[in-house]
A and B are shown apart, each in its own frame.
Chain A
């Protein structure tokens, strides 16, 4: 695992984070949210549409900056870092999975997964080797040379998960990864997520599906940009 400040027990910490989108009127998508995500956690985030889930994920993934508060990744305060430095952090420490997979068309599964290593300057041969190993890990060793349009939705999302994990990030962020899958594919994808988490991966996952949320060890419910419920603070369910 690539660590920025390895003495921190948390993969991610949000400290009083707010996000206001300018406009008339301005939208406060997140309001003074504090969350600590220890390494190895499987965290499910639920909430109504517009409650700020995606905003939260983008902030954690350094794709956007908070209006107030700070985001720590592996113990490193990311506020004030340049765009280039944030990109560097994403290339090593963050893995993204999206509802729409976002695989590059016309490019094989192996190359798509290898792109997870592209911007860390990994040579092509090593990208290929590690991509193939990761595809095998997600159960797609028979789809290495397949193009996205030759694969089912469930398979495409597994490729996307392999891409998010191939560079051994500190955590993976999944925004409704099962949103485009049927119940059967959802179940097997979540099985994969749980198994990856068992192997040590830290996962933060947004979902609308109560069954998916059930499978997460910790759940947070957002409402109007605030934490309405956090299972880790419920007595008898506490983490630390």
Chain B
């Protein structure tokens, strides 16, 4: 600056007049621009709050939908991972002819020959009901069935015990019973602190264990499980496998599944029904995500409507505050200053709306997840995406009004009436 001045003094007058064009510049720092914008919003609090509300609702909807679906399926997916997706259930299907069909006697042995198979557990359905005493009339079975099973059933199901123990080599020969979670509940047996006896068809059995729910075999939750030895000895039951649970190495599970029916019953494979237990859980996860997509779509629509609301309010503001625009131009604001003022107002509106929406969405997710006993998950991507999209919306919504304000002629803007 000084050097330019010095240079000027050494020049002839005419040139000096041209170089002294060191004109004053209008200046407004970024911070001051934000301050001017926020003051514009503060003097119109109610209107600002209402116009930010659309964005808040949209973002809150997005965050809570994504948060709830993530929280809701997180537990499901975790269970799925723990239980494994490599469990096949083999049952007799419906035959073409009359009468029920059953699995061939050598089915378990045949299955064991499939090399990726590492666990085969069988279950045999035993007719008869389960009663708390021997006086209740036949028929009131409370939906509880008796099944006989091998010792490895709990392994095959990755099941766990709520109380007591599972059947052992020894207890499977005795009148001992392990109850599924639902069966225990229906019978009113919560723990084994006192000995419980149950009347199974023809004699008393002692309850030695209660299972936790088995997510891959809900049927067994309603069963009273006894050993094969006990079934033969005390209930006079002929034990052939009605249901076979098979675990195979996960990488070969599809191959195993495809050969299963023919292996079990080479003559009529269509009479064998093979299902993958985890398919049901996976379908549930898929179902939640379908719903999620639907609601995310709705949230996006709400966001769009919120953005249009802000654009609308900004267009009205530019018309209404014409005199303010003229005044600011008279005070030395450039077109750019006017544009950035209105743009910053719109960005602040949508930004504040977005932050409020994120907080509200997290709150809704937290309250619901806690009430459902889910583990709370707030997807970071949804939060970042919510913030980015609200700022983007503010920018787009404010762009046209800002341009319009900037291009207003100062003398027109100063006109009254």
Chain A interface (Cβ < 8 Å from any Cβ of B): 2, 4-5, 58, 61, 63-64, 76, 81, 83-85, 87-94, 96, 98-100, 102, 104-107, 115-116, 118-121, 124, 163
Contacts and interface: CB of A to CB of B under 8 A. Distances in A.
Contact of B337 (A99, A104, A119, A163): A119
Contacts of B25: 84-85, 88
B113 interface: no
6 contacts: A84-B26, A87-B333, A91-B24, A91-B26, A102-B327, A124-B32
A92 B42 CA distance: 28
Nearest to B413: A63
Nearest to B327: A102
Contacts of A124: 32, 35
Interface in B318-342: 323-324, 326-337
B36, B328, B411 — which one has the most chain A CB atoms within 10 A of its CB?
A: B411
Interface string B9-32: 000000001001001111111001
A63 B329 contact: yes
B168 interface: no
A107 B332 contact: no
B39 interface: yes
Among A64, A92, A118, the most chain B Cβ lie within 10 Å of the Cβ of A118
B334 A83 contact: yes
A58 B411 CA distance: 7
Contacts of B330: 61, 63, 90, 94, 96
Nearest to B13: A7
For the residues of B in contact with A, the DSSP-based class is helix
A119 B23 contact: no
* Residue of B27, B323, B330, B409 most packed against chain A (CB within 10 A): B330
A91 B332 contact: yes
Contact of B332 (A5, A88, A105): A88
Contacts of A91: 24, 26-27, 331-333
Given A90-B331, A120-B332, 16 more contacts: A83-B334, A84-B335, A87-B332, A88-B334, A90-B26, A91-B332, A92-B332, A96-B331, A100-B323, A100-B416, A106-B43, A115-B331, A119-B28, A119-B328, A119-B331, A124-B32
B129 interface: no
A17 B179 CA distance: 104
Contacts of B382: none
Which of A2, A84, A93 lies at the interface centre, i.e. has the most chain B CB atoms within 10 A of its CB?
A84
Interface size class of B (residues with CB under 8 A): 35 or more
B104 interface: no
Contacts of A93: 24
B239 interface: no
Contacts of A64: 409-411
Contacts of A102: 323-324, 326-327, 414
Contact of A104 (B24, B43, B335, B336): B43
B356 to A, nearest CB: 22
Contacts of B43: 104-107
Contact of A121 (B17, B29, B327): B29
B332 A90 contact: yes
A176 B28 CA distance: 30
Nearest to A102: B327
Contacts of B334: 83-84, 87-88, 119
A18 B360 CA distance: 61
A119 B27 CA distance: 5
A92 B22 CA distance: 13
A104 B20 contact: no
Contact of A116 (B17, B26, B331): B331
B332 to A, nearest CB: 2
A204 B313 CA distance: 38
A134 B20 CA distance: 31
A100 to B, nearest CB: 5
Nearest to A85: B23
A105 B409 CA distance: 22
Contacts of B27: 91, 119-121
B365 to A, nearest CB: 37
Contacts of B17: 5
A106 B29 CA distance: 22
A83 to B, nearest CB: 6
A43 B49 CA distance: 48
Nearest to A121: B27
A88 B333 contact: no
